[in-house]
A and B are shown apart, each in its own frame.
Chain A
Amino acid sequence: MVKDPWWIFAYWEIQPKTERAARSQLLPEEIAGLQSVLRVYDVTGMDGSAQPAHGAFDIGLSGLATNWYIHTNAPHHAFVVEIGLLTSRGRFLPLARSNRVTTPRFGPSDVIDASWITTDEAYWKLFGASAGVGIGASPLAWSQVLAQQLFSGNWSSPSPVGPSRHSAVRGFWVRVNADLVIHGATEPRASVAIEGQPVAVRPDGTFSLRVALPAGTQTITIDVTAPDGRQTRTVTPVVTLAWAGSLTPETTTPKAQLHHPRPGSP
């Protein structure tokens, strides 16, 4: 599988009998120093496996690896990988052969279609515009353009997964708020109003109201009217909330990160 223009990925599973069959071909003196290797063939431009590859390199495998990321460092090349046993004398006994993969080109094609002729200058003008780096970016800067503008900070797909929450400023943070709960009980069919607004009375006659309490003094008028509507009781608690101290974070916190909504990223 292709990871990107420079890396490919291989995984494998070797049946014990396949490995036994290969080992049975070994001469006794070849057993020592036997190594598992991946042999990576460059098969760019070749159709079948009849031709010898342009080149090949080996990667010694350690331990019980069942997969490997291979740094080919070769965009726009085709590869086939074999896993096998390599003797100390250099004899290679293949165990399995991969499918063929082709890494993508990284950079503009050299092929120009005669009926759609484009100049380098025009291409770079459009390229700069596409990459969002302003008008007519210099071709010299293109590798930087690619690395910085084209790919980095791209985003990918998402689900509206609620990511874990952050504080925008790293380090120690505190929030404190106060809610006030007013609660009481009366006769089940009585009516209750707090600051003129009706509050539901439950079948058992209890009632409650929760309010976010601002700083300062609140005078709260609670009117309770009997079921027959003839009698009213009024009570007026006065609540004062005052804050001392400060919870504002210190201004010397490390460079803060702006948590910009970006799907899928925490």
Chain B
Amino acid sequence: MEPQGFLAIVLHTHLPFIRHPEHAEFLEERWLFEAITETYLPLLERFQRLANDGVPYRLTMSFTPTLLAMLSDGLLQARYLRHLEKLIELSEKEIERTRWMPPFHRLALLYHHRFTSARRLYVDGFHRNLIQPFRELSDRGYLEPIASCATHGFLPLMNEQRTAVRAQIHVGVQVFEQAFGKRPVGFWLPECGYHPGHDAFLKPFGIRYFLTDAHGILFGSPRPKYGVYAPAICPSGVAAFGRDLESSKSVWSAEAGYPGDVDYREFYRDIGYDLEYDYVRPYLNGDGSRLNTGIKYYRITGTTSDKQPYDPDRALDTASQHAGNFMCNREKQIAFLRTVMDRAPIVVSPYDAELFGHWWFEGPDWLEFLIRKVHFDQKTFQLITPSDYFQRYPINQQLEPSMSSWGNGGYNDVWLNGSNDWLYCHLHQMAERMTEQAKAHHQPDPLTHRALNQMARELLLAQSSDWAFILKTQTHTAYAYRRFRDHLARFTVLDDALRRQAIDEPWLAEREAADNLFPRLDYRIYAT
């Protein structure tokens, strides 16, 4: 029987480029390590298991070049393993320490098992390279990987610097091609940030679609006949798929969302904070501040600080029920949509991948349950990727989406407010200078060429939307400020050196070795 509709789950993976070879250990590098242990490995393990069990599924995943660069970097791979070894050691001590506390002892064993399994998977299964298994899932037809901007630059606020917008996209596509061995069919606009006209920048790279938030389509013009439940063809011919808010809310909403369930693991109770200081000190960073180790023993319990021990069986059962609930709601939603639409709707549900596992510990299990249930327990809808939908419905309505983002407020507020607006006069000037320098150097000598490429790298790194976001949210602001200032300063040094024709080669080599991403970057993309 033909399905009545389709569900497209899109997972967006991204981390800013954080690599500090100049320090033996670096707090913010842990963001990558935690994401590998808690999100990327659990997702890969489940995706492979589903494939090996013969469960058909289609998922879309976007990868930012900064994350791809970190996942394939030898130094960070070695540091990740060192981090994991320490966690395993801590979990061994915890097995000992909790021996008279059965509920905790069981959890200590569980964490030890997870960490040692992670090591086995990472070292023996994937040979430290997580891009390869994602690529295999793509080659086997389960995953549709899509590209994203070079450093997750927020494009609506870059609109006046066309070459900068184009360069973010160009490098994103280039890095994607290296990683996945093919051209990307889709593109994730960072933060779903769309500015009318930017679809035209995607067109030359063969991109067929991107994603926007719901109001990007709903407020598009002409008025969309099918709302967000069919793609909109932008003036350039590239399609936009709008986010479905109903399915998004059930996962994200603080009030009604699944991850807040009392049976799920409490994120904010970690032994890094709970246990005696000297005992956990060896597992903290250099400055000795307490931090999240990843070993957490409590469940959300309720609006109380009197948390109860986590029960993994109960949590798994709840995840299964929530997957069933999500599926059932999509069946109802699609049945309703069929009464207003004369074609099968596509419900697009994009999420940050790091929600699954890192924040919502049971998220990867929920996803696996959902995929199994969708296949075995119902016939109303199927999983699909946006590009699959074109094969069924090649003709779609033309309209221009409205400016939008999925950030709080729905527009540019998160990245443009009193805490971070000072970034933009620098960023815009840097982009203009980069274009000037690119146009001024047609046939540079090798050293000048390297300096120009490094200048482009510093610009791209300064453009990461993460710095503006962190300044806004007031967590880790010192780091965001430092990173922005460093990239701005290095960019300026290079710009001056080029104007004076006095490039400090040893200094340049040091910068190239530290920020070693985008090895194939060519500054000439800024000259067009």
Contact = CB atoms under 8 A, between A and B. Distances in A.
Given A3-B411, A160-B354, A132 B249 contact: yes
A111 B219 CA distance: 11
A138 interface: no
Interface in B386-415: 397-399, 402-414
A96 interface: no
Contact of A135 (B267, B336, B397, B413): B336
A85 to B, nearest CB: 22
Nearest to A117: B225
Contacts of B355: 261, 263
A57 interface: no
Interface stretch (A33-41, A87-95, A100-108, A184-192): A100-108
Contacts of A67: 421-422, 425
Contacts of B473: 264-266
B466 A154 contact: no
Interface of A is mostly: loop
Contacts of A261: 259-260, 267, 355, 359-360
Given A127-B227, A260-B254, A3 B340 contact: no
Interface residues of B, number: 108
Contacts of B260: 258, 260-261
A1 interface: yes
A218 B35 CA distance: 40
17 contacts: A4-B411, A11-B421, A105-B402, A130-B242, A151-B408, A155-B406, A156-B405, A156-B406, A156-B407, A157-B152, A159-B466, A160-B354, A160-B359, A162-B34, A249-B304, A249-B305, A264-B473
The 3 residue pairs across chains A and B that have the minimum distance between CB atoms = A126-B227, A109-B221, A261-B359
Given A157-B466, A261-B359, 9 more contacts: A1-B416, A105-B219, A106-B219, A111-B223, A150-B410, A157-B152, A163-B475, A173-B305, A264-B475
Interface of B: 14-16, 31, 34-35, 38-39, 93, 96-101, 104, 152, 156-157, 159-160, 190-191, 196, 214-215, 218-229, 242, 244-246, 248-249, 252-255, 257, 259-260, 267-268, 270, 273-276, 279, 291-292, 300, 303-307, 333, 336-337, 340-341, 352, 354-355, 358-360, 397-399, 402-414, 416-417, 421-422, 424-425, 465-466, 469-470, 473-476
Interface of A: 1-5, 9, 11, 13, 67, 99, 102-113, 115-118, 122-123, 125-127, 129-132, 135, 146, 149-169, 173, 175, 177, 179, 195, 197, 209-214, 218, 248-249, 256-266
